[in-house]
């Protein structure tokens, strides 16, 4: 009989092997004190002992410890049986594990466990927790096996989808590009010309032994058949228009309500509008289409009303002693075309072209600014050599025309430029001039501007002055503006 145990005294397991003749018995005792007994009848005693050795080796391999115990004597057998059954050879290999044996419910005798330590009160073993169920198995769905082949197919499908999206995006961009080019081609080459819009232009006429005559035209025609025409930037008439064939008929009224009907023979292009005499076909002026929405009628009247309110009656008053006290620092243009005086502390900048056809002086003292430009082109176009042929304050005088011509330049430099009616300017060393009060926008973050536009003529130059600053500081800066303008001379 051989005894084996596993574990401490509290959870010890005991196994007892016993071989009696050809019968092998196995008794197991659990930690809770319950026992089981198994027996197996084998063909011979040697096979029973071999099976016992096999079970013993398995128990030792599992960590069981064998205890010294008394072996039971083998059952008596006859001499013939001993002779018939030879003793087992030591070198004989162990047979295969015995097949399962039958279980018996009868308990082994207590003498089998006399020399072992008694087990304490059995402790219930901890229950093993079951693994968490998978989400798919919890829903009753069988778990799908993933294979590398399916992954390859999926990645290939994703790649195909990505390629299709890229091709669709490229196709969309190409379609937009083609549509844009088509629209540009239609707008430039195929779109029918429309007379609706803002038109502007001028004509310079010259007769032998007479001065040049410059006439500016601004024509606005909208979709509601409203019309507005401005001559030389000052005389504005509004009304309606009609087009029949190559004839444009304007029915206009001035501020006094007098009707002025005009008819032109026209030649309409994509960006040009030629106005011609309806009888002779002589070109009167070629107008160019300007950007911006048409503003005939109400807006033109509003602009004219705002300009009429820009009047400064004190601009014609002068005090030479006071002017000299304000502007005492003398300065000449780089090419010597003109000179002036300016207040102390103002920054100066002057320059000129090498051909002596253009020069300037810029005076600044934050936030005020005075710009003086002298150009030969304005003098030639206004006819400065015939200045003495006109009465004082005449709108036909060259200085008046030169003043109106530069008004467009100022409107291009300053945003939302509005200028009042020109008045006679005196006090400088260059003779009669023109002066206007103007307002403009200071931009998105700047304050509104207010200042003077002054024009003077020499024999070969037009002097254009823009003196301005914040509208709120105009009254404080006005004496300096006028003192500098009245100091202009050769």
The CATH number of residue 455's host domain is 3.40.1000.10
Assigned domain for 17 exists: yes
Assigned domain for 162 exists: no
Assigned domain for 150 exists: no
Last residue of a domain, one of 113, 138, 155: 113
Assigned domain for 473 exists: yes
Residue written as tokens 């106005």?
275
Q: Are residues 380 and 343 in the same domain?
A: yes
Give 3-state DSSP helix, strand, coil % of the chain, rounded to 5. Answer: 30, 35, 40
Task: Write down the pLDDT at residue 112.
Answer: 41
253 φ, ψ (degrees, to nearest 5): -135, 145
Q: Are residues 335 and 226 in the same domain?
A: no
The token pair at 58 is 């398995």
% of the chain at pLDDT higher than 90: 24
**Would you say residue 14 has pLDDT above 90?**
no
- Please, which pLDDT band fits residue 468 given cuts at 50, 70 and 90? very high
- Under 8 Å between Cβ of 121 and 33: no
From CA 359, how far away is CA 342, in angstroms rounded? 17
Q: Are residues 482 and 336 in the same domain?
A: yes
pLDDT tens digits, residue range 355-379?
A: 888 899 999 998 899 999 998 876 6
Task: Write down the pLDDT at residue 306.
Answer: 63
Q: What's the CATH number where 243 sits?
A: 2.40.128
The number of residues making up the chain comes to: 490
Lowest pLDDT segment from 35-39, 174-178, 328-332, 468-472 = 35-39
Task: Write down the pLDDT at residue 77.
Answer: 44
Q: Are residues 269 and 387 in the same domain?
A: no
- Strands (E) across 293-432 are located at 329-332, 339-342, 347-352, 358-365, 368-375, 418-419, 423-425
59 HSE (CA, 13 A, CB side): 24
97 HSE (CA, 13 A, CB side): 8
Q: Are residues 107 and 248 in the same domain?
A: no
Rounded to an integer, the average pLDDT of 223-241 is 86
**Would you say residue 68 has pLDDT above 80?**
no
From CA 307, how far away is CA 420, in angstroms rounded? 4
Q: Which long-range contacts (CB under 8 A, 24 or more apart) does 54-57 make?
A: 54/94, 54/95, 54/97, 54/98, 55/17, 55/26, 55/97, 55/98, 56/2, 56/4, 56/17, 57/94
- Under 8 Å between Cβ of 248 and 263: yes
Instruction: Work out the burial of residue 486: count CB atoms within 10 Å of its CB; fewer than 13 is exposed, 13-18 middle, 19 or more buried.
Output: buried
Name the more confident of 75 and 133. 133
Q: Are residues 247 and 341 in the same domain?
A: no
**Would you say residue 348 has pLDDT above 70?**
yes
Lowest pLDDT segment from 58-67, 110-119, 333-342, 454-463 = 110-119
Rounded to an integer, the average pLDDT of 33-40 is 86
Q: Are residues 375 and 419 in the same domain?
A: yes
Rounded to an integer, the average pLDDT of 9-22 is 85
Assigned domain for 233 exists: yes
Q: How many domains does the chain have?
A: 3
Assigned domain for 188 exists: no
- Tell me the residue range of the domain where 98 lies: 2-113
Task: Write down the pLDDT at residue 207.
Answer: 62
**Would you say residue 281 has pLDDT above 70?**
yes
- Please, which pLDDT band fits residue 240 given cuts at 50, 70 and 90? very high
Rounded to an integer, the average pLDDT of 235-242 is 88
- Please, which pLDDT band fits residue 143 given cuts at 50, 70 and 90? low
Q: Are residues 415 and 448 in the same domain?
A: yes
% of the chain at pLDDT higher than 70: 71
- Under 8 Å between Cβ of 21 and 77: yes
Kindly report the CA angle at 434 between 431 and 436, in degrees rounded to 5?
Answer: 150
DSSP letter string, 155-204? HHHHHHHHHHHHHHHHHHHHHHHHHHHHHHHIIIIISPP---EEEEEEEE
Q: Are residues 410 and 470 in the same domain?
A: yes
Assigned domain for 242 exists: yes
pLDDT tens digits, residue range 258-271?
A: 888 889 999 988 78
Rounded to an integer, the average pLDDT of 9-31 is 86
- Under 8 Å between Cβ of 287 and 268: no
Q: Are residues 341 and 453 in the same domain?
A: yes
Last residue of a domain, one of 92, 113, 134: 113
Task: Write down the pLDDT at residue 487.
Answer: 94
Q: Are residues 337 and 462 in the same domain?
A: yes
Rounded to an integer, the average pLDDT of 148-167 is 66
Task: Write down the pLDDT at residue 131.
Answer: 64
Assigned domain for 119 exists: no
| Mean pLDDT, rounded, of the chain | 78
Instruction: Work out the burial of residue 251: count CB atoms within 10 Å of its CB; fewer than 13 is exposed, 13-18 middle, 19 or more buried.
Output: middle
From CA 235, how far away is CA 308, in angstroms rounded? 12
The token pair at 29 is 């005792």
Task: Write down the pLDDT at residue 81.
Answer: 40
- Please, which pLDDT band fits residue 289 given cuts at 50, 70 and 90? confident
Picking from 435, 462, 456, 436, the residue whose alpha carbon sits closest to that of residue 381 is: 462
- Under 8 Å between Cβ of 226 and 238: yes
Last residue of a domain, one of 113, 132, 155: 113
Q: Are residues 273 and 328 in the same domain?
A: no
From CA 128, how far away is CA 125, in angstroms rounded? 9
């Amino acid at each position: 009989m051989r005894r084996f145990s596993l574990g401490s005294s509290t959870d010890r397991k005991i196994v007892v092997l016993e071989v009696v003749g050809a019968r092998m018995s196995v008794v197991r005792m659990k930690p809770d004190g319950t026992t089981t007994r198994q027996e197996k009848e084998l063909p011979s005693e040697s096979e029973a002992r071999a099976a016992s050795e096999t079970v013993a080796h398995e128990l030792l391999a599992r960590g069981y410890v064998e205890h010294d115990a008394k072996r039971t004597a083998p059952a008596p057998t006859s001499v013939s049986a001993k002779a018939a059954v030879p003793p087992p050879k030591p070198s004989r290999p162990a047979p295969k594990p015995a097949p399962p044996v039958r279980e018996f419910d009868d308990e082994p005798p207590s003498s089998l466990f006399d020399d072992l330590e008694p087990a304490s009160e059995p402790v219930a073993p901890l229950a093993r927790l079951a693994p968490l169920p998978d989400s798919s198995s919890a829903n009753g769905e069988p778990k799908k096996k993933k294979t590398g082949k399916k992954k390859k197919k999926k990645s290939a499908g994703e790649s195909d989808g990505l390629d299709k999206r890229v091709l669709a995006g490229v196709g969309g961009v190409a379609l937009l590009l083609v549509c844009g080019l088509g629209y540009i081609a239609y707008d430039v080459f195929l779109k029918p010309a429309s007379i609706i819009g803002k038109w502007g232009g001028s004509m310079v006429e010259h007769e032998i032994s007479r001065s040049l005559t410059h006439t500016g035209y601004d024509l606005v025609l909208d979709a509601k058949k409203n019309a507005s025409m401005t001559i030389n930037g000052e005389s504005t008439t509004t009304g309606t228009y009609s087009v029949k064939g190559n004839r444009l008929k304007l029915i206009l009224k001035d501020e006094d309500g007098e009707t002025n009907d005009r008819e032109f023979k026209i030649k309409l292009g994509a960006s040009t509008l030629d106005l011609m005499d309806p009888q002779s076909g002589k070109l009167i002026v070629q107008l160019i289409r300007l950007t911006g929405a048409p503003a005939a009628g109400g807006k033109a009247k509003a602009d004219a009303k705002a300009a009429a309110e820009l009047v400064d009656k004190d601009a014609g008053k002068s005090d030479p002693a006071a002017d000299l006290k304000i502007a005492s620092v003398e300065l000449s243009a780089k090419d010597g075309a003109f000179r002036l005086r300016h207040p102390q502390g103002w920054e100066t900048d002057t320059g000129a072209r090498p051909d002596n056809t253009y020069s300037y002086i810029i005076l600044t003292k934050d936030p005020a600014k005075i710009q003086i430009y002298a150009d030969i082109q304005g003098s030639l176009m206004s006819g400065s050599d015939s200045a003495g042929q006109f009465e004082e304050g005449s709108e036909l005088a060259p200085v008046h025309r030169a003043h109106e011509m530069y008004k467009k330049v100022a409107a291009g430099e300053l945003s939302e430029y509005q200028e009042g009616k020109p008045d006679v300017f005196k006090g400088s060393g260059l003779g009669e001039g023109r002066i206007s009060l103007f307002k403009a926008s200071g931009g998105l973050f700047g304050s509104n501007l207010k200042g003077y536009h002054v024009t003077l003529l020499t024999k070969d130059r037009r002097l254009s002055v823009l003196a301005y600053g914040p509208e709120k500081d105009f009254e404080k800066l006005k004496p300096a503006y006028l003192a500098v303008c009245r100091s202009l001379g050769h």
